Amino acid sequence: MMQEALAARVVLTPRPERQTELPLQVAMLGHCPGKVRAQRLLALADALKEIREAGFAEQLHSIMADPDNASLHHLPIPLRSASEFHDIFPQAATENALYHSVLAGRRSWLAPCVDDFFANGGSKLWIIAIPEEEFQAGFFPSVQTNLTDVSSLKGLASLLVIPKIGEICLPDLERLQIPARLPDVPRVRLDNPQPAFLPCSQSLDDDHRERRNDDEMALDDLPDPLNFRQVLQNILPWLSRYRPDIQCLMTLPLAYLEQSDTPGADTEALAILNQLRTSDTPSVLRQIQFVYPYLRGQGRPLLSPTGIVSGSQSATALQKGPWRSVAGTPLSSANFPYPRLNRAQLLTLRDAPGISLLERRNQRVELDDERLCVPALPADDYLNSTDLSRFDGFRSAELMRLLGYLRRQLTRFGEQLVFSADASDPRPRLLIERFLRTLWQRGALRGQRAEDAFTLRQIPSGESTLLLEIEIAPALPIDRIRLTFTNTGSDWQTEIGHV
């Protein structure tokens, strides 16, 4: 009895060793239905410290005052493992969500995406729980948003004030954008089996016949998805204005395709992307990386792929640098891409508008390429060019991550030196030069010499002003290599050319 009493008083809070420096910190917004155990969050001292540093100390005080009835909605929470998430939100993976659909099922997507993130090597993840009754509006900043007033922050705006975050995912917003009645791929009709005596223990389910859904009529009461342009307009202007260093990871929406009688990439959304790519301000798209298709397993509903992709990107950024692509590397997932794409569809979506595509290769999931719709450059740098194809090498998501990483690092340098150096002190220039040289040595910048990879000039200014101008030559990824083998007589010749 004494042992049982002591065991009941011992509660373990699993928490891995803290990583002090992470080049790419990811955040996810989604739904957490069911019970919430705020007291388990209050047991994470490091997490509470980071929440206070982000400016949410007042919300923490209200949670501490009444943890049993506290709400964690719109509060950024840093997690170091999937077990911490399930400890705080124990029913998020099993409780039915308010919105459900034929393809996406009845469960929220945040919980499995958190599992996928850490399963693919992610070491830290910020999460924000969105109230389900707010539907899509809960993910977007409100009109009254004031970044200096934490009480006005909701959804995406709650992440804009955290300077360390470099990537965001919105798995449950993607789930809300899937039409409730969007049909599945039609099943193959099988002939009725011949009557025969079989044991009672044998299953007669052939898993090919259509069955009536008990909740089919309830789907009529669910809201329709927002227009895709409206979704982008509620996300991209906020990132462009306040956090140009953040990259958004989003899955392309689905729609019913009459020509193939199956669900597929929304043609209206593709038309909107192509229209934005050719507009006067296409650079608004450089901060968003579209991924397609979704994930699905045997007997499992649809799921967003942002969890496995962002987890691999975070792990690769820590091990090799944020400028390294995760394309061609196996992604840990129990599901496979859905719907399946043929080679012609892959090439079409990859080139225009520019989608990062998942493929099933040798019974594993891989990203074909980290593609962007537009170059990761300001529009003025390439719009006036007569040959836009020469900028295709800049249409890479890893390049956008590098530029965001540079912006965050240089901002941090400036904050550290603002009170510790004067304008004539050579240390700031030497510090930044050493940082850029390290990037060149690790392969982030191209050039045979460091002088070819970057230039750093100090521009004369006032006595109390330090102005440094930096130019870099980022390493461009190789999208494809064309190998040509020619046999003339008995002589084999090989030619290598970039595409």
Mean pLDDT of the chain: 86
Sign of CA dihedral 129, 135, 136, 138: negative
Identify the pLDDT of residue 1.
47
Cross-strand pairs, 484:
495
Residue whose tokens read 């340098």: 413
pLDDT digits (tens, 9 = 90+) for 430-474: 888 999 999 999 999 999 999 999 998 888 776 667 788 889 899
Are the CB atoms for 309 and 367 separated by under 8 Å? Answer: yes
Cross-strand pairs, 249:
169, 289
Q: Which residues neighbour 414 within 8 Å (Cβ) at sequence distance 6 or greater?
A: none
Sign of CA dihedral 95, 99, 101, 103: negative
Q: What is the mean pLDDT of residues 393-411?
A: 92
Could you tell me how many residues make up the chain? 499
Q: Which range (16-25, 199-208, 210-219, 461-470) has the least confidence?
A: 210-219
CB-count exposure of residue 185 (10 Å: 0-12, 13-18, 19+): middle
Look at residues 119, 95, 475, 106 and name the one whose alpha carbon lies nearest to residue 321.
475
Contacts 24+ apart (CB under 8 A), 357-365: 357/291, 357/292, 357/293, 358/291, 358/292, 358/293, 358/295, 358/305, 358/331, 360/336, 364/330, 364/331, 365/295, 365/305, 365/308, 365/330, 365/331, 365/333, 365/335, 365/336, 365/337
pLDDT digits (tens, 9 = 90+) for 328-344: 899 999 999 998 888 88
User: What is the enclosing helix (H) or strand (E) of 306?
Assistant: helix 306-319
Are the CB atoms for 110 and 117 separated by under 8 Å? Answer: no
Q: Is the pLDDT score of 419 beyond 80?
A: no
Rounded to two decimals, the pTM is 0.86
